[in-house]
Amino acid sequence: MISLDHLCARAGQFELLAVTLAVPSGAWGIVLGPAGAGKTTLLEAIAGVRRVTSGHVVLRGVDVTTVPAERRGAALVHQHAFLFPHLTVAENIRYGARDATFARDVARRLGADALEHRPVSSLSGGERQIVALARALASEPSILLLDEPFAALDPRRRARTRSELRSFQQQRGITVLHVTHDFEEAGTVGDVAIVLDAGRVVQVAPPAALFRHPANGAVADFLGAENIFAGTIERLGDGADDVAPLRFTGEGLVLFAVGDHAGGAGHAVIRGDEIVISRGGEGSSSMRNVLCGIVREIAPTGALARVSVDVGATPLVAIVTGESARALDLKVGDDVVLRCKATTVHLC
C-alpha cells in the first residue's frame, strides 16, 4: 500500500502541496496530470530520493518518511531509464538483485535477456526502458514507481511489455504507481487514477469514472473531453435525492443532465462520442438535449471523423465513425441536429 498524508516536497520549480492519496496494496495506481504538475517529484518523494518538507509517506502501513531510499523497498524507473553506462546489460539487471536466478527469469519474461550481450550505449530508447524495468523488478520491490516507462516503446512492444508487467505485478502483489500521459494506458492497466495539477491532487477515481465524470473543467480539458462549457447549474427536482435532474445554462446553450451537483457555477462536459448527429429535426427520441447547428469543419481521423458544429456562436465537437459521416453525406455549411442524453452530460 502507498499512502501519502499531506505530503509537501519541492524540486526546483516543481512543488507538491499537501498531497494526500492512497493506492491499495497490490493495486496499480495511475498518475495523470499536465506537464509541471509535480508527477515525477511525487514518485521521487515516495522513493526517498527527494527530500520531503512536510507530511508523511506510508508504505505497507509503515511511516517511511525518514527511512532512507534503500530500505523502502520501492524501485523507481525513470522515463530515461538511467542504465549504468559503465556496466553491461546483464550487470545492470543484476544490480539490485539478491537472487541471480530470479533476475534472469525477470529478464526473460520482459524480453531483456536477448539484450544482455549488447553494450548499454548501443541500446535504443525502448530497449533501455525494458532493461530498466527488468533491473527494477529484479530487486524484488514491493512497490514499483514508474515514470512514463513505456514512452519510448513501439506500440506492439508496449502492449506486450505492459501486459507482462501487469501479470507479474498481480502474481507478486506489487503496488504500482505509474505516471503516464497515455489515457488509453491509464484505462488498460489502472485500478485507480490520480489527477495531479500544479502540485495538488484534483481527483482520485477509477480510470473509467474519471473519464466519464471529471472533477472539474480543468481535469476534463486535460483528459481531452471535446466539449467543456462554463455556466450556471440549477437543480430542477425537489432535491430530496442525491441524483437529481439538473439544468445547465451557459455559452448560449441550455443542457439537461442528471447528477448530484448542488447547483451554482460550474462546467458542463460532453464527450464527443456521446453526441449523435442527424439531418433535420424529424422524429422524436428519448434524448433530452437537442441542439441545431451548422457544420463548420469535418476532420477525418482514422476510422473516426471529428465534426465541428456551430450552435449559435458556440462550437461543439461530435465524434462519429467515418461511415456515418459518409452515410449522412455531411458537408461544411449543412444544417444538422445534435442530440445527447441527459446522462451523458457531466456537470461539475
Partner 1 sequence: MKRPEGAWLTGGLVASALVLFSLLVLPVGALILRGGVAGLRQLGVDGELQRALALTAASATVATLITMVLGTPLAYLLARGRLPGGTLIGALVELPLLIPHPVAGIALLLAFGRASPVGGALARAGLGIVGSPLGIGLAMLFVSAPLYVSAAREAIARVDERYEQVARTLGDTPFCALRRVTLPLASRGLLAAAVVMWSRAISEFGAIVILTYNPKVASVLSYDRFTAFGLDAALPVAAVLVLLAMLPLALLRSLQASAGLRERHP
Q: How many residues bind partner 1 (CB under 8 A)?
A: 30
Quote the least distance from Cβ 161 to partner 1, whole Å. Answer: 18
Q: Which span sits near partner 1 by CB under 8 A: 63-71, 220-228, 270-278, 298-306? A: 63-71
Q: In this complex, which beta carbon is closest to partner 1, that of residue 145 or of residue 194?
A: 145
Residue span binding partner 1 (CB under 8 A) among the ranges 77-85, 104-112, 173-181, 316-324: 77-85
CB closer to partner 1, 118 vs 213: 118
Three-class SS of residue 195? strand
DSSP string computed for 216-246: SHHHHHHHT-SEEEEEEEEE-S-S-SSSEEE
Q: What's the half-sphere exposure (Cβ side, CA atoms, 13 Å) at 31?
A: 29
Q: What angle do CA 29, 32, 35 make, to 5 degrees?
A: 145
Residue 324 three-state SS: helix
Q: Select the residue interacting with partner 1 from 27, 32, 74, 269 (CB under 8 A).
A: 74
Nearest CB to partner 1, comparing residues 43 and 276: 43
Site string for partner 1, 213-252 (x = CB under 8 A): ----------------------------------------
Quick check: 104 binds partner 1 (CB under 8 A)?
no
Question: Which of 48, 55, 259, 293 forms a contact with partner 1 (CB under 8 A)?
Answer: 48
Residue length, the chain? 348
Report if residue 168 touches partner 1, rule: CB under 8 A. no
Between 93 and 269, whose beta carbon lies closer to partner 1?
93
Check: CB of residue 317 under 8 Å from CB of residue 227: yes
Element (H, E) at 105: helix 100-110
- Which span sits near partner 1 by CB under 8 A: 55-63, 132-140, 182-190, 239-247? 132-140
Applying CB under 8 A, the span of 58-66, 78-86, 249-257, 306-314 interacting with partner 1 comes to 78-86
Q: Where are the beta strands (DSSP E) in the chain?
A: 2-11, 14-23, 28-32, 52-59, 62-63, 74-77, 143-147, 175-179, 192-197, 200-205, 227-235, 244-250, 253-259, 264-270, 276-278, 289-301, 304-311, 314-321, 335-340, 346-347
- Whether the Cβ atoms of residue 73 and residue 141 lie closer than 8 Å to each other: yes
- Does 62 bind partner 1 (CB under 8 A)? Our answer is no
Q: Please report whether residue 149 would count as binding partner 1 according to CB under 8 A.
A: no
Check residue 70 for interaction with partner 1 (CB under 8 A): yes
Residue whose grid cell is 443542457: 255
The answer to whether 83 contacts partner 1 (rule: CB under 8 A) is yes
Asked if residue 86 binds partner 1 (CB under 8 A), the reply is: yes
- Reduce the DSSP state of residue 159 to 3 states and report it: helix
Give the binding site for partner 1 (CB under 8 A): 44, 47-49, 68-70, 72, 74-76, 78, 80-86, 95-96, 120-121, 125, 128, 135-136, 139, 141, 145
